[in-house]
Structure 1
Amino acid sequence: MDDEMNSMYMNGVWDLVELSHGCKPVGCKWVFKTKRDSSGKIERYKAKLVVKGYSQKEGIDFKETFSPVSTKDSFRVIMAIVAHFDLELHQMDVKTAFLNGDLDEEVYMKQPTGFAEVGKEDLVCKLNKSIYGLKQASRQWYSKFDKIITQNGFIENTVDRCIYLRVSGSSYIFLILYVDDILLASNDSDLLIQTKHMLSTHFDMKDLGEASYVLGIKILRNRVNGVLKLSQRTYIEKILKRFNMHNCKSSKALIVKGDKFSKAQCPQNDDEIES
């Protein structure tokens, strides 16, 4: 919680002010999450300060909320390119990503529980930056990221707006954005390092090195044989546990994606039903 509050102060997320006449502050709450790695082991404990965005009023507290994310199909296409051309594949994480977004509207928030400033308990937080929970938070973050990345020579994909490409001579680099997770795929180590430096200059980044676990998908590579495998074992086990089916017997699913079914295929008599 202290780390989260320090991030708020460092990013200048709000100013303490007296509430303007006729305005109503939105509430906030603490959300605690246990982050796990690809094997399900606890990686770290996270505390997030979240605005109660459900109390925001459209047209007053926010206007637009839409924000794109890269599709899983695009992700798989990039992985195929990485395997085929034996590209370097690295991963980065944006710390407190939404705090980078600038707010266009005037939004007031109550001071966080347990962190109200002594002697200023009657004041409220006038938000300068978007914060988790705000209706427009993801949109403001995407807008800020897109603006900076395109100013630094990256071109946005016309089909998937969260895939970017930068070409420099014979070198090229793909950047895949999924909210605050970033994948970098390049045929040039120097261009990769240069891109990481550029991102770290503009945002508070965490360099995770070679990509191994992203969006709940484990990446297994054998560069000698040009093989790249994607596994969602941890995610599948998590879903099975959630529905109390983790002890069920596994069997091959004799269904192909795209298969169509109809009532005519249903069993028509007692023998067929038993079969």
Structure 2
Amino acid sequence: MRSPSSSYSFFVAVEASTSWHGVTLSKEQCPKTPQDVEEMRHIPYASAVGSLMYAMLCTRPDICYAMGIVSRYQSNPGLAHWTTVKTILKYLRRTRDYMLVYGSKDLILTGYTDSDFQTDRDSRKSTLGSVFTLNGGAVVWRSIKQGCIADSTMEAEYVAACEAAKEAVWLRK
């Protein structure tokens, strides 16, 4: 197992920092020179992200977090961002048999939530995620950047729990 301080330059062909959460993408990896910008114009980044977003919204909640990250760089993607999109596409190809399955027993709504802590290097905001299942099959899922900057892991978790509670109240109505 690699330590979080190692680099994935062999994997993404550019220097990308890592942490225990995985590869870190930031605006530092966006094109800075006109030559870099021109090189990225020939890459269908927005089209690929849009197609992946459609798949995520319809049947693939497992890519929700990754899509939330790569869609932040729609206006100025770099090669590291494009490599991450290709990695998501490879993951979907390897897991094309995955599907949502709903049980046939009594209707039981269950919710799960989690948060990271300030993993967005650009804004220092945390990302929250939640999923609600009905008889074991996901019916509502999301992964979004929190609106505030949490001062601790506990605060980030409380914000995530509060957002999930609001969703649960709405679903029960």
TM-score by length of 1: 0.25
- Larger-Rg structure: 1
TM-score by length of 2: 0.35
> Between Structure 1 and Structure 2, which shows a larger proportion of strand residues?
1
